Structure 1
């Protein structure tokens, strides 16, 4: 490769990063129209940007080490290199897995399946998170890691453009992708981390009192871990959730985790919600090697206001939701006209969005650790959306999980 070509590719890469970070609304339509292959995008963009956090973390560990209670530990070079290589490979695989999720979920949110476009969203949407990984290089700038959350915004803007999903469903689409992808990798990390740490487990055994590494079985640490904000994670519950994830994966592989028929889900959509009357309804199912699911949705109207109520069955969401609940996942963003909030209520995920100016919002909860019940629309207040979800009888839907 000549220096001129290399320079041109570098400029193109930098221009793309700048566009995504500074002008994402204008950049996504440009990306949507570009003709590229998954392999080409993987080599020219993902393989380069995904290396940033890996290299930063590797250099940071070798130079600054790991500090715990005033004691600094610097892992051996070969150990660090092996870990970095494993992390890098998993990062590349992660993009592909997220792309498949985005592609399979597209029809459920009014979009169109296109794996290449889904891969673009997964690859370019991860840009901010990868760049934020550079914070691992210097402890003094570790607070910059929070900028990685900007990738959620990139995903939110990119999904409706590339997957042709309605904008009003972009938040729900984003939430489902983030929850499924995030919790899937928590499961993967919880399973693989002890395995990767086994050869050198004794070096930091004091930091994980109660963890057991035997030749026959790998056990996760036990006890509770404190998180910022006073929250605690019960590692025992986390281990149980991982075990359930393994069992559900086997059931899915053996055909034992049957998806509830969309027609059955439709029975939980009432003919009316208060003064709102049902004007249309539809249901669909998808069955692939990557993901099984079904969905029923209905639209309700009252004068110029409306509610769209849906019930979605995603069996593989069960163990992921359990892990998220154990981690007490939550987040909130307030604006001058409303808010966006994700939290856990009675062990179930809840996602809310409300804009007081437009009177539009959405409310999503989970029943039976696998059924997503979502109400979106233009209403008088959030109470009407919550009432719509309650009208679907989440307690009875949960019984379908068996």
Structure 2
């Protein structure tokens, strides 16, 4: 229930939700385990269904992935999703030594990372219908909301001045982009060792 409440709140009234999240006393492992394993499944399952049952449209034809190929890629994507959130959370925790107050509770960085990624994961629902422009538009919207949440929520959650929060948020966004690039490079490496997509012209 807490997961549902925070998920809805961070999308509809983020300022109040950040304040509510700040008032809760949870360690970073608890925040991670109660939210990320479920949220990270959303884009993975949506994509698995989309590429095996609906298919990508190419020049009027539909191309699908075999279930075996899609399952392998889904497993890799799920682990990558978990890893990105955890690494981002650890980075924010580390950076609190520079930007936040010394008495700041440990684990706030993981909380920030989890809720920044919430709209990104939720936007992954669109992959049940893998149309290129639709998926790209919704994914960009999810990322844009995450950026807004970062700049809006940092001074509230970390309880620091807005000027310092702006620099902190910019650092977080930079690291987020670096992690995204690392994921893309890792995908190429994974594909090169034989876990790449296998296409078919019929649903699996």
Q: Give the TM-score, by structure 2 length.
A: 0.83
Does the 8 Å contact 2:51/2:130 carry over to 1?
A: no
Structure with higher helix content: 2
Q: CA deviation at 1:77?
A: 0.5
Q: Contact 2:56–2:130 at 8 Å: present in 1 too?
A: no
Q: Once the two structures are superposed, what CA deviation does each residue of 1:298-346 show, in whole Å capped at 9, x if it has no partner?
A: xxxxxxxxxxxxxxxxxxxxxxxxxxxxxxxxxxxxxxxxxxxxxxxxx
Per the alignment, residue 138 of structure 1 pairs with 129
What residue number does 1:181 align with?
176
Task: Write out aligned runs for 1:363-378 (5 A).
Answer: none
1: distance between equivalents of 2:197 and 2:146?
Answer: 36
CA distance in 2, matches of 1:125, 1:87: 18
Measured in 2, the distance between the counterparts of 1:45 and 1:187 equals: 23
Distance 1:32 1:43 in 2: 18
Partner residue of 1:83?
Answer: 73
| Structure with greater Cα Rg | 1
Conserved 8 A contact 1:103-1:114:
no
8 Å contact kept, 1:58–1:80: yes
Asked if the contact 1:109–1:166 (Cα under 8 Å) also holds between the matched residues in 2, the reply is no
The answer as to whether partners of 2:69 and 2:196 remain within 8 angstroms in 1 is no
Deviation of 1:18 (Å): 1.5
Q: Which residue of 2 aligns with 1:4?
A: none
Distance 1:63 1:38, change over 3 A: same
Retained in 2: the 8 A contact 1:98–1:181?
Answer: yes
Distance 1:176 1:202 in 2: 34
Q: Which has the higher contact order (CA 8 A, sep 6+)?
A: 2
Q: Give the corresponding residue for 1:166.
A: 161
Q: How many residues were matched structurally?
A: 193
Give a deviation string over 1:148-167, Cα, whole Å, max 9, x none.
12011111122222223321
Structure number with the higher strand fraction is 1
State the distance in 2 between where 1:137 and 1:166 align.
Answer: 41
User: What are structure 1's unaligned runs of at least 5 residues?
Assistant: 1-8, 205-402
Is 2:90 aligned against 1:100? yes
Contact 2:99 2:168 (8 Å CA) reproduced: yes
SS state of the match for residue 73, structure 1? strand
- CA RMSD, 1 decimal: 2.3
Tell me if 1:129 matches 2:124.
no
Cα distance in 2 for residues equivalent to 1:166 and 1:28: 15
Which 5+ residue runs of structure 2 have no aligned equivalent?
Answer: 200-204
Runs of 4+ in 1 over 6 A off after TM superposition: none
Give the secondary structure class of the aligned counterpart of 1:63.
helix
CA pair 182-115 structure 1, distance change in 2 beyond 3 A: farther
Closer, same or farther: CA 202–131 of 1 in aligned 2, 3 Å: closer
Taking the aligned partners of 1:54 and 1:126, their CA distance within structure 2 comes to 14
TM-score by length of 1: 0.44
Matched, 1:22 2:27: no
Contact 1:28–1:161 (Cα < 8 Å) also in 2: yes
Q: SS of the counterpart of 1:74? A: strand
In structure 2, C-alpha distance between the alignment counterparts of 1:88 and 1:49, rounded to whole Å: 10
Cα distance in 1 between the residues matched to 2:94 and 2:15: 24
